[in-house]
Amino acid sequence: MPEMPEVEQVRKTLAPKIVGSKIKKVEVLLDRIIKYPTVAEFIKVVKNKTITSIERRGKYLALHFSKDQFILIHLRMTGALLVMPKTETAPKYATVKFELENGLNLWFTDIRTFGTMHLITNKDVVIESYENLGPEPLSKEFTLEYLKEKIKKSKKPIKTFILDQNVIAGLGNIYADEALAVANIYPAKEANTLKAKEQQALYVGINQVIKQGIKNKGTTFRDYKDADGNKGSNQNKLLVYSRKGKPCKTCGTLLEGMKIGGRGTVYCKKCQK
């Protein structure tokens, strides 16, 4: 599932192949992916536009045509952006195709089809989940003071809290579990009951796991690939995620599984209090 490190890796691998190229043709193979405006309007506006840059914010990617005009893409669980020579046939699960002037096709593929695209032009439509994104891990806006301020106001389980994109932009289920494991915090613990030391450890943990994820080019379980079609390697470094029933890498205790906010959660009952 693409989270911040995976989306960042997609951005990096995509940029050299598509930035500066003009979109000659757009084909939408699955209408519901286009959330705004209509499919016809989307195609009409995007056609003949040149991609000037590709930015990432949280788990969103923005293909810019100008400062204020861009396609906002969310990969959700199984979305992928693949660049292939125009001579190659459609990849499996293709939902949108952009034919580029440079002889390459940019494909959006999506097995579970939860991924989305919005065309944003001059703020004529406000995507709240995008506008309200919290600060990014590793950014100067994401400070310990900020995290403490937010934590003390929340009664949610700490895991649910750090998954809230309005609090921190970019964490998903994998990195949330990992950050809590690094910080030795019990995932179901109510946010506002965290002690100062735990808040500090969580702050460090979030930055650490995101940094490691980016360094390892993302975490691949089933479906995630970057724009080159390559998998990440961070799955080999995980402390807890997907390791239910396996020994904790610190103490050897078998890791436990539970549901928090409907999300599968893995943790060490001995290390995480």
Partner DNA sequence: CTTCGTTCCTGGAAGC
Partner DNA sequence: TGCTTCCAGGAACGAA
Positions that interact with DNA (CB under 7 A): 1, 3, 58-59, 74, 76-78, 111-114, 127-129, 153-157, 160, 163, 165, 172-174, 222, 241, 259, 261-264
Compare residues 24 and 156 and give the one whose CB is closer to DNA.
Answer: 156
Compare residues 16 and 264 and give the one whose CB is closer to DNA.
Answer: 264
Compare residues 72 and 100 and give the one whose CB is closer to DNA.
Answer: 72
| CA distance linking residue 215 with residue 133, whole number of Å | 23
Active-site entry in 49, 56, 59, 243:
59
148 is catalytic: no
244 is catalytic: no
| CA distance linking residue 43 with residue 224, whole number of Å | 27
* Residue 195 CB neighbour total at 10 angstroms: 9
Compare residues 3 and 8 and give the one whose CB is closer to DNA.
Answer: 3
Pairing of strands 34-36, 116-121: parallel
Closest distance of CB 190 from DNA, Å? 9
Compare residues 22 and 35 and give the one whose CB is closer to DNA.
Answer: 35
CA 74 from centre of chain: 8
Retrieve residue 77's tokens.
């669980």
* Residue 196 CB neighbour total at 10 angstroms: 9
Residue type at position 120: I
3-state secondary structure 49-109: CECCEEEEECCEEEEECCCCEEEEEECCCCEEEEEEECCCCCCCCEEEEEEECCCEEEEEE
Asked whether the beta carbons of 24 and 86 are under 8 A apart, the reply is no
Closest distance of CB 88 from DNA, Å? 20
85 is catalytic: no
Closest distance of CB 185 from DNA, Å? 17
3 is catalytic: yes
Active-site entry in 76, 148, 231, 263:
263
What are the φ and ψ backbone dihedral angles of 235, each rounded to 5 degrees? -60, -25
Residues 6+ apart with CB under 8 A from 40: none
Say whether the peptide bond before residue 37 is cis (omega within 30 degrees of 0): yes
| CA distance linking residue 251 with residue 240, whole number of Å | 12
Provide the annotated active-site residues.
2-3, 59, 263
